[in-house]
Amino acid sequence: MAIEIGLQGFAEALVEKEDTAKVVGSGDLMVYATPCMIALMEGAAWESVAPYLAEGESTVGVSMQVSHLSATPVGMEVRAESKVTAVDGRKITFEIIAYDEAGEIGRAVHERVIVKADRFLEKAYDKL
């Protein structure tokens, strides 16, 4: 099976105190943190393509152009919806939109690259 343009994915979470800008260190307000929204977006993207990878392969994020458009309070559900917009060899490009219960909260263009997991980890740990 091949990764094709139009492939969609999603990820959901409940915003908890641990997900706020104040707690993760990206600001001083008790609202959903941009780094947490980005992680949710990446999760939607990687989970959507994971079933299409060969054994021993994974994907890693290499680029994220993101806009966080609206604040979300603790206690609201958030959802990220991803769609593959391009496939160029090992590079996959996604368009991702994040929502809370009141509407859109963020948008991103995200790139991931297919890697051989063992080789990737070996190279990372060689830095030690």
Q: How far apart are CA 73 and CA 96, in angstroms?
A: 21
Q: What is the pLDDT of residues 18-45, one digit of tens each?
A: 999 999 999 999 999 999 999 999 999 9
Structural domains of the chain, with CATH: 8-125 (3.10.129.10)
Q: Which two tokens stand for residue 76?
A: 């609201």
Q: How many residues does the chain have?
A: 128
Q: How far apart are CA 110 and CA 81, in angstroms?
A: 12
Q: What is the pLDDT of residues 41-71, one digit of tens each?
A: 999 999 999 999 999 999 999 999 999 999 9
pLDDT, the chain, mean: 97
Mean pLDDT score, 83-95: 97
Single-letter residue type at 25: G
- pTM beyond 0.85, yes or no: yes
**pLDDT at residue 1, rounded to an integer:** 67
